A and B are shown apart, each in its own frame.
Chain A
């Protein structure tokens, strides 16, 4: 099984996953800093960019488990840099597993709309599980969790827009011959 997994992704595909994880991290951080924290416009943009990159990456590396690996790598590096994201690790892994299941249910990563469906499920599941974890941490005062709901809603709206911009970017890249399959 492990030997099979070892040869599941080529070195080139692993590099694509690493480069896109770096691009997603830097670009979202840049937009967040440019917007100055809790700005709804940049909050929306941040999610648009992340989802677009995620969709493009899944179209470039069309293999089962790519979403899970991308999430694991992103979280691992976030934890290394600032220790951030320890609390959101279970949410991200659970969301990635669910996303992978939906990609599989949609006919596998090779099908035209499967990566988009997977990312849509991932975005929704990540937010739902994150809210649950927030409630777990803040359970003595659940009112605070309700206060962050609009922020999460804006973030999800950005993710939904990102699905469309992702598909559009893939079309452009395919036209340019960069995304071939």
Chain B
């Protein structure tokens, strides 16, 4: 099975750091960090969550990816400031909207990105599938997920083929075409792919049934997952950070200067 497009082909050979952490630990950290960053609204607790999540992201040792992600966050933040400027200019009721109040939502976003990036860039799809299987997921969840992952590259190829066919017929699929002739372009691309999807699903469904898929629950995984002491320690550290941030939220809360913000 092909690994994620988000992962460099050499990822398999990288060891140590977050690459050796169990996928289940990474999933728990991502979920816990996302929930706690939404629940917490104080500046200092958010800063605490952000700092530790940044250390977590930095340990994946992918400076370029992290730099791109932060450039994106700054771009969105700049866009938000411009939006605020427009709102303050044209909507008098929003006059009180403060620029400083943008800090916490963007800290939240940065924390989420800090935990999501290691999950995406240090994990192979095969490990994720094995983790799903180890969670004893039923066939009705596992099979569509496996089919979907397997068919994403196939559909990308199908789109290329349809685009080439259109080219032979004298129609070039370009971004401008989607704006000038949206209905025509969509039909040209969409209908062949719809028919192909249905045919593929019928063929694959028959093949799966002939191979006896779904009849036997005991499948041997290609690589089994191993929970190590490091995974437990990382989870304990993450839990401590969340507990400390929650305590800071209760004790300190929002600083005096930022209270009463809209």
Residue of A nearest to B146 (CB): A18
Residues of B within 8 A of A70 (CB): 144
Evaluate whether A14 and B143 lie within 8 angstroms (CB atoms) in the complex, with A20-B197, A48-B186 already known.
yes
Nearest 9 A-B pairs (CB), nearest first?
A: A18-B147, A12-B205, A83-B116, A18-B144, A22-B151, A19-B201, A15-B205, A26-B155, A16-B201
Q: Which of B120, B145, B209, B261 contacts A12 (CB 8 A)?
A: B209
Q: Nearest-CB distance from B134 to chain A (Å)?
A: 15
Query: Of A39-47, A91-99, A100-108, A117-125, which stretch is located at the interface?
Result: A39-47
Cα distance A127–B214 in the bound complex, in angstroms: 35
CB–CB A173/B198 < 8 A: yes
B28 interface residue, CB < 8 Å from A?
A: no
CB–CB B198/A137 < 8 A: no
Residue-by-residue, is B150-181 near A (CB-CB < 8 Å gives 1, otherwise 0)? 01101110010000000000000111001100
Q: Which of A17, A49, A87 contacts B190 (CB 8 A)?
A: A49
Q: Which of B87, B109, B198 contacts A143 (CB 8 A)?
A: B87
Evaluate whether A34 and B175 lie within 8 angstroms (CB atoms) in the complex, with A84-B116, A143-B94, A178-B198 already known.
yes
Interface size on B, residues (CB 8 A): 76
Q: Nearest-CB distance from B56 to chain A (Å)?
A: 13
Q: Nearest-CB distance from B111 to chain A (Å)?
A: 11
CB–CB A22/B186 < 8 A: no
Residues of B within 8 A of A39 (CB): 179
Q: Nearest-CB distance from A174 to chain B (Å)?
A: 12
Interface size on A, residues (CB 8 A): 68
CB–CB B139/A141 < 8 A: no
Between-chain CB contacts (< 8 Å), 11 pairs = A13-B205, A14-B144, A18-B146, A18-B147, A34-B175, A35-B178, A77-B149, A83-B115, A137-B105, A138-B105, A144-B83
Q: Nearest-CB distance from B5 to chain A (Å)?
A: 7
Please list the residues of chain A having a beta carbon within 8 angstroms of any beta carbon in chain B: 2, 5-6, 8-23, 25-27, 30-31, 34-36, 39, 41-42, 44-45, 48-49, 52-53, 56, 60, 69-70, 72-74, 76-77, 80-84, 86-87, 136-144, 146-147, 169, 173, 176, 178-179
CB–CB B262/A11 < 8 A: no
Q: Nearest-CB distance from B205 to chain A (Å)?
A: 3
B194 interface residue, CB < 8 Å from A?
A: yes
Residue of A nearest to B118 (CB): A83
Residues of A within 8 A of B87 (CB): 143, 146-147
Evaluate whether A76 and B145 lie within 8 angstroms (CB atoms) in the complex, with A19-B201, A41-B179 already known.
yes
Q: Nearest-CB distance from B39 to chain A (Å)?
A: 9
Q: Interface SS of chain B: helix, strand, loop or mixed?
A: helix
New contact pairs (19) apart from A16-B198, A27-B159, CB-CB < 8 Å = A11-B205, A11-B209, A11-B213, A12-B206, A12-B209, A14-B143, A15-B143, A15-B144, A15-B147, A17-B144, A20-B201, A21-B148, A23-B197, A44-B182, A60-B198, A73-B141, A83-B117, A86-B116, A173-B195
Residues of B within 8 A of A36 (CB): 175
Q: Nearest-CB distance from B37 to chain A (Å)?
A: 9
Evaluate whether A73 and B148 lie within 8 angstroms (CB atoms) in the complex, with A81-B5, A138-B105 already known.
yes
Evaluate whether A14 and B101 lie within 8 angstroms (CB atoms) in the complex, with A83-B120, A136-B38, A144-B80 already known.
no
CB–CB B144/A73 < 8 A: yes
Cα distance A27–B189 in the bound complex, in angstroms: 9
Q: Which of B31, B105, B214 contacts A11 (CB 8 A)?
A: B214
Residues of B within 8 A of A34 (CB): 173-175, 178
